[in-house]
Amino acid sequence: MGNKLLLNSLKKYWVIAKITWMNGFTYITSFVMWRVRQIIQMIVALSLWESIFASTTTAFGYTSARMLTYIFAANIIGFIVTSSRTIGVSSIIHSGDLSLYLVKPLNFFLYWFSGDIADKLQNIAFSLTELTVLFFIFHPTLYIPTHIATLFLTLLAVSGATVMYFFINMMFGLLGFWTPDVWAPRFLFFTVIFFTSGSFFPLDIFPKIIVDILSYTPFPYMMFFPTKVLLEQLSSIEIVRGLLFTGAWATLCGLGAFTMWSRGIRTYEAEGR
Amino acid sequence: MESIISVQHLKKYYKVYKKQPGLMGSLKALFARKYESVQAVNDISFEIEPGELVGFIGPNGAGKTTTLKVLSGLLYPTAGEISVLGFTPWDRKPEFQKQFSLVMGQKNQLWWDLPAMETFLLNKAIYEIPDAQYKHTLNKLVTLLDVKDVMNIQVRKLSLGQRMKCELIAALLHNPKVLFLDEPTIGLDVVMQKVMRDFVREYNTTFGATILLTSHYMDDVKELCKRVIIIDHGKKLFDGKLQDIIDKYAKNKILSVVFAKETDQKKLETIGKVKSFEFPSATILVPRKEASRLAAKLLEDFSIADLNIEEPPIEAIIRDVFQNGK
Amino acid sequence: MKTLLRYIKIWLLFAKQELLFQFSSKSSIILFFIGKTVRFLSFLLILILLKHNTKTMAGYSIDEVIIFFLTFNFIDLVSQMFMRGVYSLTGKVRSGELDFYLAKPVNVLFRVLAGSPDFNDVLIFIPFLFFSAWYIGQAVPLLDAVRIVLYLAFLVNGLLISVAFHIFVACIGIITTEVDNTIMLYRELSQMGRMPMEIYREPLRFLITFVVPVGLMVSIPARVLLGKAPPSLLLTASLVAFTVFLLSLLSWKHALKMYTSASS
């Protein structure tokens, strides 16, 4: 009986995912533009590395094949981890529409997470076509992982990264409780991610000391770490360490988000908005 | 009977930040911000029984919306004991939320680019409404509001009136026992205001829900509410039947006359204060207690074709109440 | 002359307004500044890393690639500084504010493009200029006055193309309401100009060199500086720039006519 009640109360999040999915298709132009931007970034990265490897067989310990595989894999993982609709959270707070959520028997975080899952699925579906096209243009020799365990471990790393990134985004959105301008800190964050998550170059082109310092930040665990796991370029110890760090950051960011939420609700003044 | 909504000594104070205009003001604000405390609600108490339709009226900034938001659990009170349906609203327990609904005049919960039906299904899932009950309630509401044909059209393609009706349905699918309506007729034209009021009245009778509505339009209250709570500057000025306000606060009555023969306005002034004079009609303001006597005198001293004794408009009465702030 | 002074005065007023607007939130100015600086420095860092670890990129030494990068940033920063206004054009069309502009005695195009200058970019621009000047001074061989003058001339040439393109975008913005997506696309494509065009494969290279002529804007002056630009190329580039600029002005006139003759 208890199980049925739980199932019933979770069903709503499935419906939320469904309606977000449906809604996504009504914004088809913006969505396509978003995809185009993603492809362009990939093209720049692939072109860059291709031209570098035209004059040298190895660079930073990578061969052309390995580097291009890295770029492909990192970007696929990137789509999964970073597609999100939580951009809307701060405007909901500012407009006062948050009230509409608060009066309903709804968990705010689960609501947005369900929406994000739908968004990620849409992005993955589209990116598969794009990646096939890019594959035919650049025809890199791709490295295929050899162990089943690799896929499982990658899944673990990607899930952890997804949850962590979700909470980080929520924290930025929840800043809306205290400031009308959320875009500035977000912009800084996106800029930093661009260079430290490993999307258009692997982080180990940096000198070792920088890589070590970065490993204590959440950034490498978004794309770089899961990709390295997939490409089977890490030792067992490194994998375990990375997964622990991912988990730790996901938990920390989760705590941060929940704290901001409860503090923010306390000061939420839905007056006249 | 146990009251369904109980408010005891509710107080709610806000912090508002102040900034001086201009570049210097902005620079100053970067370093030190001044704020002042606004007393939105300053000791209000009332009880509401199940099934009542109560109107909260007051000018803008009176504290009506704030009170409603506290009752919905959106705001924590600065002080006071509140209970709705036996719950403390700001605990926001799901069991509580499934039993009430808040409709705010200008806020939309329908997903803009999808048919209203999709939002209905979403709310069905959110409020965990069983299939049979959902179908039954939906049909009833759709018939009441006459929107059968528009539910499957994208919301952005609907007219304002149709959208408003669908918003109402979305808010009422879960059969709430308590309904809070915040400025429901704001921004609507005369026709739609009537539709809204008729619906609220019907909903109260058919579904038996307790309804608390806030408004600064007198007509909302006139049409709908037997019981009225008047609020101004965060304080309760009056709580009781609409008729009682009139009896208590209307100091004057209006004599509305049609003359049979030409009359001298100056002579009319001896009866009472002449509010308007355009032959053959005139209106005269007279003290309430003297109304009958002065009406008789009017008939005696003048040549009258028609005479009516009227109440002053409620708006005027309420305005007096506000201005005297008793 | 008088008109020029008047427009400068008006522009300064716009700038002051924008500044006031930005001041209303304390941290955002600082954060944006940090963000843009981080972005610039990170790219530079990567290029330097590449310099020490690889040999060439599409036939250019990494030093030369850095020159391309700096030239791109110059044009991008200046465009951003002065023409940020075009990004908010859709909003102005929708809200009717554009009609408001049309009624005023200030040139509408000027207002649409230059109406929201971003002083944040100015803050970054100044150190950027110093750095670039220094870098060019020490990295480019055979630098002489002629080359520097030609470089500056073709920077202006590139800016002309950039202005033309922003005007085209403004035209689209007036006729349809799809500016946001068009602008985003334009910006993304022009970001590809950070690196020399040669790294991209054909059709793409053609697209970026001639269609969204980021290639022309950036690589011509860079190549001038590096002594790798034949006079025929320079002539073509100048002709293209002037033609495109004139075309854009004509399009704007036309678009404005279309806008004012249509009902809302």
pLDDT in tens, A86-100: 888 998 998 889 999
Rounded distance between C-alpha atoms, residue B54 and residue B247, angstroms: 19
Residues 6+ apart with CB under 8 A from B71: B5, B7, B82, B84, B89, B180, B212
Task: Tell me if A22 and B118 make a contact (CB, 8 A cut-off).
Answer: yes
Q: Does A29 touch chain B (CB under 8 A)?
A: no
Residue type, C166: H
Number of helices (H), then strands (E), belonging to chain B: the values are: 12, 13
Task: Tell me if A191 and C38 make a contact (CB, 8 A cut-off).
Answer: yes
- Sites in chain B below the pLDDT cut of 70: 1, 17-34, 249, 314-315, 322, 324-326
Q: Where are the domains of chain B?
A: 48-79+88-246, 251-310
Chain B CB contacts of A102 under 8 Å are 73-74, 92
Query: Chain A 101-140, CB below 8 Å of chain B: which residues?
Result: 102-106
Fold of B48-79+88-246: Rossmann fold (3.40.50)
Chain C CB contacts of B27 under 8 Å are 23
Chain C residue nearest residue A203, CA to CA = C46
- Residue B123 tokens read as 């709310």
Domain range enclosing C153? 2-261
Task: Tell me if C200 and A191 make a contact (CB, 8 A cut-off).
Answer: no
Q: Does C52 touch chain A (CB under 8 A)?
A: no
For the domain covering B251-310, report its CATH number.
Answer: 3.30.70.980
pLDDT of A273 over the 60 cut? no
Q: Where are the domains of chain A?
A: 2-267
pLDDT of C239 over the 80 cut? yes
Residue with more model confidence, C26 or C35: C35
Chain C CB contacts of A33 under 8 Å are 181, 184-185
pLDDT of C264 over the 60 cut? no
Q: How many CB atoms lie within 10 A of CB B277?
A: 15
Chain A residue nearest residue C180, CA to CA = A30
Residue in A29, A52, A179 closest to C25 by CB:
A179
Q: In chain C, which residues touch B (CB < 8 A)?
A: 16, 19-20, 23-24, 26
What's the pLDDT score for residue B18? Answer: 66
Chain C residue nearest residue A37, CA to CA = C188
Q: pLDDT tens, A183-235? A: 888 888 988 898 888 888 899 888 889 899 999 999 999 999 999 999 888 89
Residue in A19, A26, A104 closest to B97 by CB:
A104
Neighbours of chain A (3+ CB pairs under 8 A): B, C
ipTM, 2 decimals?
A: 0.86
Span of A67-76, A171-180, B30-39, C229-238 with lowest mean pLDDT: B30-39
- Residue B282 tokens read as 């005139």
Residue type, C22: Q
Chain C residue nearest residue A58, CA to CA = C54
B168 touches B188 (CB < 8 A) = no
Q: Does B26 touch chain C (CB under 8 A)?
A: yes
Radius of gyration of chain B (CA): 25
Rounded distance between C-alpha atoms, residue B60 and residue C194, angstroms: 56
Chain C CB contacts of B26 under 8 Å are 20, 23-24
CA–CA min distance A134, chain C (Å) = 12
What's the pLDDT score for residue B48? Answer: 93
**What's the per-residue H, E or C state across chain C?**
CHHHHHHHHHHHHHHHHHHHHHHCCHHHHHHHHHHHHHHHHHHHHHHHHHHHHCCEECCEEHHHHHHHHHHHHHHHHHHHHHHHHHHHHHHHHHHCHHHHHHCCCCCHHHHHHHCCCCHHHHHHHHHHHHHHHHHHHHHCCCCCHHHHHHHHHHHHHHHHHHHHHHHHHHHHHHHCCCHHHHHHHHHHHHHHHHCCHHHCCCCHHHHHHHHCCHHHHHHHHHHHHCCCCCHHHHHHHHHHHHHHHHHHHHHHHHHHHHHHHCCC
Q: Does B17 touch chain A (CB under 8 A)?
A: no
Chain A CB contacts of C188 under 8 Å are 36-37, 40-41
Number of folded domains in chain C? 1
CA–CA min distance C80, chain A (Å) = 16
What's the pLDDT score for residue A13? Answer: 94
> Count of CB contacts below 8 A, A vs B?
74
Mean pLDDT computed over A46-59: 84
Residue in C28, C38, C185 closest to A33 by CB:
C185
The bridge status of strand B235-241 relative to strand B227-232 is: antiparallel
pLDDT bucket at A240, cuts 50 / 70 / 90: very high
Residue in A23, A266, A270 closest to B69 by CB:
A270
Residue with more model confidence, A180 or C211: A180
Chain C CB contacts of B23 under 8 Å are 16, 19-20, 23
CA–CA min distance B35, chain C (Å) = 16
What's the pLDDT score for residue C41? Answer: 87
Chain A residue nearest residue C41, CA to CA = A195
Task: Tell me if A22 and B100 make a contact (CB, 8 A cut-off).
Answer: no
Residues 6+ apart with CB under 8 A from A107: none
Q: Does A262 touch chain B (CB under 8 A)?
A: no
